[in-house]
Structure 1
Amino acid sequence: MEQKNKKKISTQTIIKLLLAVVLLGLSAFLLKGDVWTFWTWWLLAGVMGFAAMPVTGRLFWRFEDKGWIFSKVLAIAATGFLTWFLTAIRLIPFNALTCAAVTILCAVICFFLLRKESKEKTECFPVDRISLIYWEELLFFLAFLMWTYLAGFRPAAYGTEKFMDYGFMEAMMRSTTLPARDLWYSEGHINYYYGGQYFAVFLTKLSHTKVELTYNLMRTFVAGLAFAMPFSLVYQMMSDRMKGQQKSEKVIKGLPFAAGFTAGTAVSIAGNMHYVIYAQIIPLIEKLTGKEVSSYWFPDATRYIGYNPYREEDRTIHEFPCYSFVLGDLHAHVVNIMFVLLVIAFLYVWLRGVRKKTVPVETSMKDGKFWKEQLLMTHLLVISALLGMFQWTNFWDFVIYYVVTLGTVLFANIIRFQGKIKKIMVVTFAQMAEIYLLAYLVILPFTLQFDTMVDGIGIAKYHSYFYQLLVLWGLPAVLTITFVISILWEKLRGMEHKSLYRLMKAIRTADLFAIIMGLCAIGLVVIPEFVYVRDIYENGNARANTMFKLTYQAYIMFALTMGYGIYRLLAVSRQKVFKIISGICLFFLIWTVGYFGKSVDSWFGKVLNPSGYQGLYALGYLDTDFSEDVSAIQWLKENIKGAPVVLEANGDSYSGYERVSAATGLPTILGWYVHEWLWRNDTDDLNRKQADIMSIYTSQDETQVRALLTEYGVSYIFVGSKEREKYEDSLNNALLQSLGEIVFMDEDSGTYIVKVDVKRF
């Protein structure tokens, strides 16, 4: 028997090795020359995660895999944030050497922790669960590869807000200090949540790769983690819940995998019911009744409330991860997905451990040991640092997950302090004050240099139609409500003395955490119906940004709740009606995955034909869309070091203007108008700069032009297609060319660059 088991293990090992080799070969075949950069990032994440396991293994010691997937993100967060912090307070320069030095230093510290654990005979790496880690890594690799391959069919960093995202990366690649100089406002630094793009640059410098490739690789890297991290979390939640259940061994082992896989799918590649109704059901009815079949454009699922039917006074946004991954923006809310999932996982680990440590009723709050235990909880301290980081990566997520943390802490304290209201409220308040204070302190180098864009809270004048809310969020809301009712039904029926404390104590940790996530998600959907955060978008888009940021996170928490809740109801619930509802929800959730296929086909084209793969090079659009300027832009990228001011014509947001600053990271006097309006809220200043730029390009008064160039510290003047398009016959070519040396001239297109001779001014 023993020999037979050894043979079986050997066969399984060979199969796993062969599968790994096949996947590596497939990645080389699909990604062609880009595979080296892909492998570099995958290996870098793996090495960093492995090095961090002495820390991660302790924090996630209750996880079967000891937090393997989360270790990658924790390592990136710790090393990247520490590098940023030291750079922001001017202790180190921001370059590849310091990025590597900080990372190696953190790895050395982890190594000494590993040695300490070895002496203490504690386990930080689950050798006995290597099979689970293998499958998690396999899923991550597959998801990362799939999104990277798809990105190669439309790699251009052009369109929507890609100019901004890519430009931020180029600006930071040029800068040795942080925040970097604003590429669209040369007189100031970046006044936005640039942390997401920073992490992309940090990994780029650390891996010695190029922004032209890693712009796309960062978004596909996050997309891969957006599948693997939910899988790991919900796998563990379901595994915890199934302990002690009277089920067959196959069911006990299979349910966690199914739940985790469903959660990963729901977060990363599923859509919403808008796709099912408007792309599937309504067209089918129209076809059967002989009517003209409606077309479906995949962004419709994110522009529904206020657009169908159209309401001029209330146009909103309600995006979700799959849409972001397809569209290809590398915006704050996208990169922060991996850090958000890390915080959610930490909250679950903390809740699972701390609820078992019930504090005796007679314990006095005047005892110093009591407060030491309440305020020095490792997981809450780590969560505090991550929430502080959110103020720099995506401030909205700081507010959202501070509240989610509050809910989790409150629920835990109700159990720990056995329903004693005074202790619950005092300790909860103290812990939340501690978290807020620590989050505030760790991010001071950013907030001290940041001017807020928020202009207060407004009362919502307009509201969504109820049926539209049901279309977008009805499916996960129904599942959440069903799940909550089923738990109440199970626990309250046999409870003799009913109380909130007894109820929560009776609920398993995984169930309780799923309830917290589901209820928080419902709250995030409801909030924009009553209030919104005021900014520059007041006319017709007042609620848009608030709804966008809140419901984006609601979608993620709903997805996790569904991944767990569906299988929990199917496997554990004794009420047939709950099983039926969960089965129906699973059916429709699977149906929403069709959105992924629809959007991929619409945006990327025929992805089943590998010959259509263009590669990850993000600046390929210059050859086609800006052929007159491409040589000049490449000259700037290759020859200009540092961040001297390069003047180009400014234009409206989301347009082709600012193609020079976006592609090079070199600052110009003024860039996309509405974006700078949002970031600085000073239209008088922007209007003056806009007029001054026009004067430089069109005025025949040499004295005035020279004075303006001196005022703004312009080193180079770029004259290309957009400048000729905007200023036409008014363009003062002769005067501009006389202001210094013509360092680049394209005789065919007429594009040229003048290096301003400051000595003559």
Structure 2
Amino acid sequence: MISQVILWWVVTGILGWLAWPVGFWLFQRLPGRGYAFNRILGLFVSSYLFWAGGSLHVIQNDAGGILLALLVLAGVSAWLVFRPGGYGREMSSWIHQHPRLILTSELLFACCFIGWSILRAFAVGKIMPVGGEKFMEIAFLNGILNSQAFPPLDPWLSGYAISYYYFGYIMMALLTRLTGALPAVAFDLYDALLFALGACGAFGLVYELVSSSDRHEKGALPAALTGAIFTVLLGNWQGFLEILYTRGWLPFSLAAWTGVPNFPGAAQVTGTFNPGSFWGWGWRASRVLSDSTLSGQSIDLNPITEFPAFSFLLGDNHPHVLALPYILLGAAIAFQVLWMALLREEPHLWRSMAFGWIAGGLLFLNTWDYPITIALILGAWLAGSTLSTGLLSNPTLRSTLRLGLTCLASGILFYLPFFSGFSSQAGGILPHLLPPTRLIQYLIMFGPFILVLSGFLPTSWAQECFRSGRRVALRRWLRWWSRLVIALLFLFLVLLALAALILWLDAVRGGNLTATLLPILEGRTPGEAAFLAFAYRLRRPGVFLLLTGLLSLAGVSLWEALEHGKEGATDDISRTYAQAPDPGLIFSRLLAIGGLVLTLVVEFFYLRDGFGVRMNTVFKFYFQAWLLMAAASAYGVWWFFRYGQQVWGGFPALILKAGMLTGILAGMAFPVAGIISRTEGFSAIPSLDAASELHRDHPEDWAAIDWLLTRRAEGATPPVLLEAPGKSYTYAGRISAFTGFPAVLGWSLHEMQWRGTYTEQSRREAGIAQVFSAPSSPAAREWLKTWQVEYIILGEAEHTYIHELCSRVEQPCNPVQVEEELAHLYQPVFHQGQTTILRLPSSLP
């Protein structure tokens, strides 16, 4: 397995160097020229070319198609370097000027990738047989590897293509083919790769911010490393609380007061610093919010509060993790846009389209991340243009609109093949009527960043006021704060009234939407529910006041910087770096505003989906907010340690620094304890095969998987399987998941989430039930012909399914007779233990 780690390190390095000229052109105004993003950009561009070529049927989904995509990338880069007036000499000069940045970036990637590969080798429970979504993720990878073209076949709904944002799995499949790794090995290594790419992306973003603020780049590398730690390694405070409780230093009453679900009820006091199994305390750290009904009763679907360190320890290669490096890449693009606006450089059409193309990749990676990235890009351009040409002048508004339309158009244009077959369960935006988040739970989640931002934002505002000769007027901030509070409360009241009206009209017309919200309304009228929702926000205002206060600080300081920046604006378009305002400080405030707004929005709204509450909305928005606040906080720590004493004096600055460091150290308790728990003290036999434990625990099924894989002809269409269907998070669908051969039906509820409807799944469930209860019936044969089934699986999951099916009163049958009948009707071609594979004739009578 060591050879695979080295091979992945080398291959990703080659991709990075192939794409560096593209990055050098893309980030032309940034001090670091986006060097730390090379591998991220290389994997993105090569995967896009591979996918686009396969979608247009120009290339095939094989090693030859990948090599052709790499040749195109190499050709574009060669043209950028060697064309007349190309970047050859400039790149050579830049390399000689930045050896420390290059060396640190490469060492950071190597240490993170190799280190996390070691952790993955020792991790236990890599792909769990039940729970988690790793079956789905390995199914997508194998489904893509088994598809002849794109869109790839859906391994859990035969005859259909994947209806999900699957670009991250295209990237994983590309590296799997390039390195020749087994899919289960690639699954483990890709988690390590994402950890390393996320660290490098955060490192690169913070480096560009600090280097732009400090022309001599002093402290840029340490600050950038801090950004990497904050983004992928730092945890929330729940890990620290778990350790305190386990050690016996946190009283039960105080732990219970936090209201974190299952804490401290499921925790134990052992007198040690070891909080126990990661699946206990570690899981609680990803579920720290507890929502309740309007009557105050706890609900089952509590918000998901994952953060990167938890996700990487869990090892889920899910879209929110797959997109992580590319959110940071989008933020770097936004910072490049800010620089261009400050220097009054209108983006060329090709460059604007490139910005939109890369940002649009998030639509295909994890659609939720796209709006905030576009908003960040346009906000950066608006801020920079305002500083250069005046506050919200007509040229500023026109150029912002032009950039926005170009980015949106190119983001859609370049991904049309994806949109043509994509459907979703998203059903609009609904008001969050349930009680708001408790302040203590919000601080447990984002405490390290809130402490840093609470020191950084007011201090940076005060310093700007001192330098410009203005007074630090608290009344000015309080005026901003009170206006924001009143505006948001008024807006929420209006929206509640509108929601009540919509629900009333809906009830008159039949009540479809009202039925969806019935568990939340609890028999109340829409008006009563709206009144209670507003009353709860007045009784529990902590999170609202905290976030609006910090947003007001960031907003007033940014607004005043823009107002005073316009006073110094000149008509000289060729402004130098030395003449420009501090872009790092401006952009860090934009990042902070973005992160804070994302966590405030979910207090009032959520995206309607199959869950009916804000569980998934909090999950997606909090994860994005973590990335933005981590970068802003890393910059804030550097800035405060450099300038804080000048503003507050020695002792107050020392107290604030101590508070920041204490909060950060409390957050570092999670990764330290998490690494030990996740690997059980590095006691297991190391293996980078993510399927090794399933192979050990279910040898008969794995023998069937191996048999199927060895009998598929190269280039042939994969056969259709019939195995026991499952709802979600079960052992069902394991054969199709680990072969990539399409099953008639796998996890049906996940298919509903991906497609927004349960019609086809319901129809197939009824047909599968007929096949596994009355296999000789004409209806069963007709179903098998319709689905073009080639193999029927009879294994552990099927035995259980048939027994449950036959136990139903409305469909009585004998499980033993059913299995004997299936074996009589169709040819057994594989048998080991309790697992049998039956082959159907090419044409059923």
Q: Same fold (TM over 0.5)?
A: yes
Q: Which residue of 1 aligns with 2:449?
A: 476
CA contact (8 A) 1:408 1:516 kept: yes
Q: Secondary structure at the match of 2:104?
A: helix
CA contact (8 A) 1:57 1:123 kept: no
* Structure 1 residue 278 displacement after superposition: 4.2
Say which of 389, 399, 419 aligns to 1:447.
419
Cα distance in structure 2, aligned partners of 1:122 and 1:310: 67
Q: Which residue of 2 aligns with 1:107?
A: 74
Query: Would the alpha carbon gap of residues 54 and 679 (structure 1) be closer, same or farther in structure 2, given more than 3 Å must change?
Result: closer
Cα distance in structure 1, aligned partners of 2:195 and 2:599: 23
* Structure 1 residue 53 displacement after superposition: 2.2
Q: How do residues 171-210 of structure 1 correspond to structure 2 at under 5 angstroms?
A: 171-210=143-182
Cα distance in structure 2, aligned partners of 1:570 and 1:79: 41
* Stretch moving more, 152-161 or 654-663: 152-161
Say which of 640, 657, 660 aligns to 2:735.
660
Say which of 776, 799, 824 aligns to 1:738.
824
Structure 2 residue 704 is matched with structure 1 residue 639: no
Identity %: 25
Structure 2 residue 622 is matched with structure 1 residue 622: no
* Structure 1 residue 120 displacement after superposition: 7.0
* Structure 1 residue 675 displacement after superposition: 0.4
Q: Which residue of 1 aligns with 2:127?
A: 157
Q: 1:516-570 CA deviation, whole Å, 9 max, x = no partner? A: 10110000111111001101111xxx10111111110110111111111111111
Structure 2 residue 460 is matched with structure 1 residue 487: yes
* Structure 1 residue 197 displacement after superposition: 1.2
Q: How do residues 321-720 of structure 1 correspond to structure 2 at under 5 angstroms?
A: 321-357=308-344, 374=346, 376=348, 379-462=351-434, 463-495=436-468, 501-504=562-565, 507-538=581-612, 542-573=613-644, 574-576=646-648, 577-578=652-653, 580-607=655-682, 612-641=684-713, 642-720=717-795
Cα distance in structure 1, aligned partners of 2:211 and 2:313: 32
Q: Which residue of 1 aligns with 2:531?
A: none
1:116 counterpart letter in structure 2: R
Q: Secondary structure at the match of 2:430?
A: strand
Q: Secondary structure at the match of 1:260?
A: helix
* Structure 1 residue 490 displacement after superposition: 1.7
* Structure 1 residue 600 displacement after superposition: 1.7
1:303 counterpart letter in structure 2: R
1:94 counterpart letter in structure 2: N
Instruction: Return 5+ residue gaps in structure 2 as ranges.
Output: 256-267, 471-558, 567-579, 804-813
Query: Would the alpha carbon gap of residues 716 and 62 (structure 1) be closer, same or farther in structure 2, given more than 3 Å must change?
Result: same
Q: 1:560-606 CA deviation, whole Å, 9 max, x = no partner? A: 11111111111123123456424421332133112012112222211
Cα distance in structure 2, aligned partners of 1:282 and 1:518: 34
* Structure 1 residue 300 displacement after superposition: 1.2
Q: RMSD across aligned C-alpha pairs, in angstroms? A: 2.5
Cα distance in structure 2, aligned partners of 1:477 and 1:595: 17
* Structure 1 residue 733 displacement after superposition: 2.1
Query: Would the alpha carbon gap of residues 594 and 508 (structure 1) be closer, same or farther in structure 2, given more than 3 Å must change?
Result: same
CA contact (8 A) 1:741 1:756 kept: yes
Q: Secondary structure at the match of 1:738?
A: helix
2:751 counterpart letter in structure 1: E
Q: Which residue of 1 aligns with 2:15?
A: 48
1:222 counterpart letter in structure 2: L
Q: Which residue of 2 aligns with 1:312?
A: 299
* Structure 1 residue 77 displacement after superposition: 0.9
Q: Secondary structure at the match of 2:411?
A: helix
Query: Would the alpha carbon gap of residues 221 and 425 (structure 1) be closer, same or farther in structure 2, given more than 3 Å must change?
Result: same
Number of aligned residue pairs: 697
Query: Would the alpha carbon gap of residues 481 and 423 (structure 1) be closer, same or farther in structure 2, given more than 3 Å must change?
Result: farther
* Structure 1 residue 375 displacement after superposition: 5.2
CA contact (8 A) 2:202 2:328 kept: yes
Cα distance in structure 1, aligned partners of 2:759 and 2:336: 51
Query: Would the alpha carbon gap of residues 241 and 374 (structure 1) be closer, same or farther in structure 2, given more than 3 Å must change?
Result: closer
TM-score, normalised by the number of residues in structure 2? 0.78
Structure 2 residue 164 is matched with structure 1 residue 92: no
Cα distance in structure 2, aligned partners of 1:403 and 1:66: 23
Q: Which residue of 1 aligns with 2:839?
A: 755
* Structure 1 residue 217 displacement after superposition: 0.8
Cα distance in structure 1, aligned partners of 2:774 and 2:378: 59
Query: Would the alpha carbon gap of residues 575 and 199 (structure 1) be closer, same or farther in structure 2, given more than 3 Å must change?
Result: same
Q: Secondary structure at the match of 1:458?
A: strand
CA contact (8 A) 1:96 1:208 kept: no
Q: 1:687-713 CA deviation, whole Å, 9 max, x = no partner? A: 221121121112153422211100111
CA contact (8 A) 2:333 2:377 kept: no
Cα distance in structure 2, aligned partners of 1:438 and 1:562: 32
Q: Secondary structure at the match of 2:368?
A: helix
Query: Would the alpha carbon gap of residues 502 and 579 (structure 1) be closer, same or farther in structure 2, given more than 3 Å must change?
Result: farther
CA contact (8 A) 1:566 1:586 kept: no
1:105 counterpart letter in structure 2: V
1:127 counterpart letter in structure 2: I
Cα distance in structure 2, aligned partners of 1:503 and 1:578: 27
Q: Secondary structure at the match of 1:185?
A: coil
1:408 counterpart letter in structure 2: A
1:567 counterpart letter in structure 2: W
* Structure 1 residue 146 displacement after superposition: 1.1
CA contact (8 A) 2:726 2:748 kept: yes
* Structure 1 residue 313 displacement after superposition: 6.3
Q: Secondary structure at the match of 1:649?
A: coil
* Structure 1 residue 377 displacement after superposition: 5.8
Cα distance in structure 2, aligned partners of 1:120 and 1:455: 48
* Stretch moving more, 470-479 or 435-444: 470-479
Cα distance in structure 2, aligned partners of 1:355 and 1:274: 41
CA contact (8 A) 1:645 1:716 kept: yes
Q: Which residue of 2 aligns with 1:14?
A: none
CA contact (8 A) 2:641 2:657 kept: yes
Q: How do residues 257-272 of structure 1 correspond to structure 2 at under 5 angstroms?
A: 257-272=221-236
* Structure 1 residue 223 displacement after superposition: 0.2
* Structure 1 residue 513 displacement after superposition: 0.8
CA contact (8 A) 1:459 1:532 kept: yes
Say which of 293, 303, 311 aligns to 2:287.
303
CA contact (8 A) 1:486 1:578 kept: no
* Structure 1 residue 116 displacement after superposition: 2.7
* Structure 1 residue 235 displacement after superposition: 2.5
Q: Secondary structure at the match of 2:602?
A: helix
Say which of 90, 93, 103 aligns to 1:123.
90
TM-score, normalised by the number of residues in structure 1? 0.87
Cα distance in structure 2, aligned partners of 1:700 and 1:468: 54
Q: Secondary structure at the match of 1:646?
A: strand
Cα distance in structure 1, aligned partners of 2:321 and 2:252: 40
Q: 1:194-243 CA deviation, whole Å, 9 max, x = no partner? A: 11111100121223332121111111101011112212321232233233
Q: Which residue of 2 aligns with 1:26?
A: none
Q: Which residue of 2 aligns with 1:21?
A: none
CA contact (8 A) 2:772 2:802 kept: yes
Say which of 240, 243, 250 aligns to 1:276.
240
Q: Which residue of 2 aligns with 1:136?
A: 105
Q: Which residue of 2 aligns with 1:364?
A: none
